[in-house]
Amino acid sequence: MKKIGYLFFTMFAMTLLLASCSEDDPQAPVVELFAEVDENDSYTVNFTTQSEHASSFSWNFGDGESGSGATISHTYTQSGEYTVTLTASGEGGDVSKTKAVTIVASMEELLTGGAAASNGKTWVMSKTASNSDGAFSFTNTPYLPAPDNVLTQFGIGTEYDNEFTFYHDGSYKIDAKNSNVLASAIHAYVNGTLVGDPIWDLGLAVESYTVPQNATFTMNEGDLTVTVRQENPSSGTVSDIEDITFEGVTWIEFSQEAYFGILTYDTKIIIRDITADRMTVSLLVSTLSPEAYPEDFMKPSIMYTLSFDKK
């Protein structure tokens, strides 16, 4: 009987001891993490947490960078899919949570390759025309849809080889093969730099060209207003000087007489569409005779839309 009482007492004491230890043991952290892309910067993600029993937080952002704190922001340098890992630590141990974060490429990254592309991103004029390629008025009335390989059909297919490289820091490089480029026929004629005969039906020519050193570009968004004398080849008429506004567009402007696609007097191009591998742009080209319009021949008179491929 005494043995039974002693055994009962021992078990009761152990139960009280275990209960006491259980109540005093630190509890493991409980944590949830939340991620939201910053509305002013699509490469910055704001991270927040909700937690219990956690005293410190460490982050692995999935791009080789790390940080600490219950609330933190991180700016990625490149688009992509990233797995973010949060480790919450407390007296009860460590608990980790992960979340997938998607950074969508900006138009600047699509154009230049972004900060990670130390060699920039190079484009060449495409031999395959998109449905929007061709010559247009500034009101998007088509004059001449562009067929595939149109330059080759007119004997100037070597101009497809010219390369145009954009860099994340705003610098710009042109590799003009054989120092010749595709140009507005008027630009080549007035400058006395024609190579061969101009193709007046297209308003284009091959022109000898000295590549500018240290050329740059700027990317702009919003409304673009251009002063033009609009030409209508189908009727042979030319408008008075007028302002044309392209609303809500992205356009690029070059320095130092640099150009893209077609060398002409205007140094702006409008980006119509861009992906990682293909870009379609509109170029503002002068085609007016300097004899007929001595004060205005440098103004844009027609719009060419052309596609380019990533090299």
Over residues 23-49, the mean pLDDT reads: 91
Q: Reply yes or no on whether the pLDDT at 16 is more than 60.
A: no
* Token representation of residue 302: 């027609």
Q: What pLDDT shows up at residue 137?
A: 87
Q: How many CB atoms lie within 10 A of CB 23?
A: 7
Give residue 25's pLDDT band: very low, low, confident or very high (50, 70, 90).
Answer: confident
pLDDT tens digits, residue range 154-210?
Answer: 999 999 999 999 999 999 999 999 899 999 999 999 999 999 999 988 899 999 999
pLDDT tens digits, residue range 62-108?
Answer: 999 999 999 999 999 999 999 999 999 999 999 999 999 999 999 99
Give residue 7's pLDDT band: very low, low, confident or very high (50, 70, 90).
Answer: very low
Identify which has the larger pLDDT, 39 or 25.
39
Say which DSSP state 158 is in.
G
Indicate the SS3 state at residue 126: coil
The helix/strand count (H/E) of the chain reads as: 4, 20
Q: What pLDDT shows up at residue 1?
A: 44
Identify which has the larger pLDDT, 236 or 307.
307
How many Å from the N-terminal Cα to the C-terminal Cα in the chain?
94
Q: What pLDDT shows up at residue 24?
A: 66
Q: Phi/psi zone of residue 111: left (φ > 0), alpha (ψ -120 to 50 degrees), beta?
A: alpha
Indicate the SS3 state at residue 210: coil
Task: Classify residue 72 by burial, with Cβ atoms within 10 Å: 0-12, 13-18, 19+.
Answer: middle
| Domains of the chain, earliest start first | 30-103 (2.60.40.10), 108-310 (no CATH)
Q: What pLDDT shows up at residue 251?
A: 97
Q: What pLDDT shows up at residue 100?
A: 96
Residue % of the chain over a pLDDT of 70: 91
Q: Reply yes or no on whether the pLDDT at 11 is more than 60.
A: no
Give residue 13's pLDDT band: very low, low, confident or very high (50, 70, 90).
Answer: very low
Summary mean pLDDT of the chain: 90
